[in-house]
Structure 1
């Protein structure tokens, strides 16, 4: 076994510190050697991504992250590159001070940062200001430097963590580096993949620094990055009854589109049968646009009974509304005790009337819905998405998808998976309805709640990336994901 098996493991800042300490105290690798390895890995990364770079600007903070930067600059000079270093005052800590001396003894010059200092003319800028230890907003003078770095328009390589990004939570409390590439060392930090962090990290490249497998033996990762996956091929004798019957419930007055997207996504995700319980006014449009959906007019809960008996999985919430009609259907659906995906107004009603679930359940809130479910505001959700999704899963006894950049999936036992796909073009109406249908279809085909949520989130995000790759992010529609989704489910991504 090699360290590469840990590529998809995500760690908290405290866990990373413990790994560092273990490498030094137990494995006997000096901290300065770890710093040297990090600098060497960073230089390799820089030359991989910018092979024609001849001059680099390196911005060093006072701690060990700055030490990595000084050693990178020294190695770059030895390799024939020009390196200019700007530092935030004096270095602190034995290893950081030693790294700075090594750079200076090799002939390197350190420029102290001040607001009127002109930044070097560089092909690549290297951020070595602050690492995992910084969890507050950057000080005004450092924020000014970050703004100057951005104004150069030159690509940025961040060492370990883009300065100003909380490596634990993904929060960005103030100004922060926007890197094109982040090379992160020893362990992948969980905060780099969710919240506001994805807008700052660029491409994340993990480097184990050649450390042995023994380093990770006593440490359990806090979360996992999702890996590409799909469903296995169906047996040749399969029939529609083998693949479940999804009942999508919603579509109050004026919201036919929401329930149609949900139902059609369930069909495209492989459900054998999909019924729709909705307002009668929507039936002509649904039948004309997608006759494969079995659309039914439902005036109230009694009309839902026969549909519930035939269904194996429920998708409740898209366009449901919170009026008397939607509330009555919501109560009836939850009382049925069927496996269920709850979204949109299905979640808003749950926030008003918390109740346990009798069957396997997946909740799919966006941050606003998550805040209502937890009785807090969206700022609290954004401050620590990992804590929020775990609390939701524990409180409601369900698998929970906390949507957004770097969607998180959690179960009541605290397990968390992080989605690394998706793009800003998906921030548009109907995407959540689509996800509800996809997850419901996967439940109907035999996945448990964790599998359906994790696989569904991954397929949804990857389909969005495929669709954006074809036509761009701006103007992306939820329905644009349906054909890429079908390709991914059939193992034909290309």
Structure 2
């Protein structure tokens, strides 16, 4: 996947297959052996646990048979040696036939026990008194799990989840599918997940958050040439690594020009929100095209916006004959076109939009009602070179109703967005919790924060206006998309949870 903007390694979200490939190539081609990688992962996790728990504590380590168990066993050794912890171990499937590196770590723990370390091995969890330990380490299964837990394993998971002590999962909560986030019968509910080497994409779906707790990335020395990822996590770490969008221009039409086709009778609020947002975001000039009957509504509320009436004084919707004045003005003052907020779904409006799109050679954002005309737009003779500059911004309902989307969960929604972008040759931002972005010839993005607060009316209009301004100023869709999405979240955090946060607070 291309790395067009500077992306911190912890923001690169990988599939289980990609994670295994990076690990395997680092071991077999680059020459860092698996035991060394396990040591690095375990020491990093142990350091985090030390910060959270302090010294002289007791840990319960629940282990499987593979390298996930090896991570837990090695972490225990660091905690015993360096932090004066004592440790109790339970192997859910017995301690024979462990993976080679896990077996080595178990033998090292036996040596520490012989040296006098406070280490105990138990055969059952049911009679264990949780007052005997301060925390639990989940080292049962890693990213290789792809079928439901069987036998007594669901009961063991249920028992662990019943404990009141903090639970720390090694790499991924046992029972969570590393790609889809699906719960495989039963799943550990972690307070923290220490993910090693690569940040797993399945940790970041909405439903996964109930099981992952806080995800802490523990880096491993995978060479950059082996790094692979499916998506990029939008968070403060990513935003800190990218340039700030700032307009530098000689006059108002020198960069930062936004053209907005929005609003119709009864839906003027959407146009106002989008226009105010584009202006607030720093656009040099914002043109709002409006059926003439609506102009009085805008005149008193949008003093900074250049308003261009189309049609006659009785027109309340866009009509095909209005397209010429819009096309002419865009041609004279080239910039980003935003079409859709509150535009209505009249067939005449759709014909006007298609006519404008045929001659719009610059970046274009299709939002809200504009998406209802997608079938007509797609079947028109608009050159593919122009469509490559488009960004579609549906919410989930619009994606389903207008774009033919079908999905049952976040993973399927993410995959649908990728496929739609590839097949239609456009970029796509699909709102939801989380929000996904699939950029044509670019990265895929996932918001790494709760976007539920933005699910109310008006926020989508504000976002579309911010996107239009930022794309026009930066000429970089990746940078503009990340900045627009995260700036709204950052503003919501500054506003405070105790107050009623609305789209007007972003303007």
Partners of 2:130 and 2:51 lie apart in 1 by 24
Alpha carbons of 1:374 and 1:318: their partners in 2 closer, same or farther (altered >3 Å)? Answer: closer
Which residue of the partner structure matches residue 168 of structure 1?
179
Which residue of the partner structure matches residue 362 of structure 1?
391
Equivalent of residue 465 in structure 1, options 490, 502, 506: 490
Greater radius of gyration (CA): 2
The question of whether the paired residues in 1 share the 8 Å contact of 2:168 and 2:194 is answered with: yes
Which residue of the partner structure matches residue 33 of structure 1?
36
Instruction: Give the superposition deviation at 1:203.
Output: 3.7
**1:99 lines up with 2:105 in the alignment:** yes
Which residue of the partner structure matches residue 336 of structure 2?
313
Partners of 2:480 and 2:318 lie apart in 1 by 34
**1:401-416 alignment, distance < 5 Å:** 401-413=429-441, 415-416=443-444
The question of whether the paired residues in 2 share the 8 Å contact of 1:401 and 1:453 is answered with: no
**1:274 lines up with 2:286 in the alignment:** yes
Which residue of the partner structure matches residue 183 of structure 1?
194
CA RMSD of aligned residues (A): 3.4
Which residue of the partner structure matches residue 406 of structure 2?
377
Instruction: Give the superposition deviation at 1:394.
Output: 1.1
**1:68-467 alignment, distance < 5 Å:** 68-78=71-81, 79-91=83-95, 92-103=98-109, 106=113, 108-112=119-123, 119=130, 122-138=133-149, 142-143=153-154, 145-172=156-183, 175-209=186-220, 211=221, 215-226=223-234, 227-228=238-239, 229-235=242-248, 238-278=250-290, 283-295=295-307, 296=309, 298-311=317-330, 312-338=335-361, 339-350=363-374, 354-355=378-379, 358-359=386-387, 360-372=389-401, 375-379=404-408, 382-413=410-441, 415-421=443-449, 423-447=451-475, 451-467=476-492
How many aligned residue pairs are there?
A: 471
Alpha carbons of 1:345 and 1:174: their partners in 2 closer, same or farther (altered >3 Å)? Answer: farther
User: Secondary structure of the residue that 1:375 maps to in structure 2?
Assistant: coil
Partners of 1:333 and 1:150 lie apart in 2 by 58
Q: Provide Cα deviations, 1:55-107, integer angstroms capped at 9, x if missing partner.
A: 33333233221221223233323331233334422254333344345445525
User: Secondary structure of the residue that 1:438 maps to in structure 2?
Assistant: helix
Q: Provide Cα deviations, 1:399-426, integer angstroms capped at 9, x if missing partner.
A: 2223334533333336434443554323
Q: Provide Cα deviations, 1:305-360, integer angstroms capped at 9, x if missing partner.
A: 31332233221222334333543343233233242101223224315763455351
Q: TM-score, with normalisation over the residues of structure 2? A: 0.80
For structure 2, the 5+ residue unaligned runs are: 1-6, 310-315
Q: Provide Cα deviations, 1:437-463, integer angstroms capped at 9, x if missing partner.
A: 11111232251xxx2254233332233
Partners of 2:171 and 2:259 lie apart in 1 by 47
Partners of 2:201 and 2:465 lie apart in 1 by 28
Partners of 1:113 and 1:368 lie apart in 2 by 49
Q: TM-score, with normalisation over the residues of structure 1? A: 0.82
Alpha carbons of 1:93 and 1:257: their partners in 2 closer, same or farther (altered >3 Å)? Answer: same
**Higher mean C-alpha deviation, range 394-403 or range 92-101:** 92-101
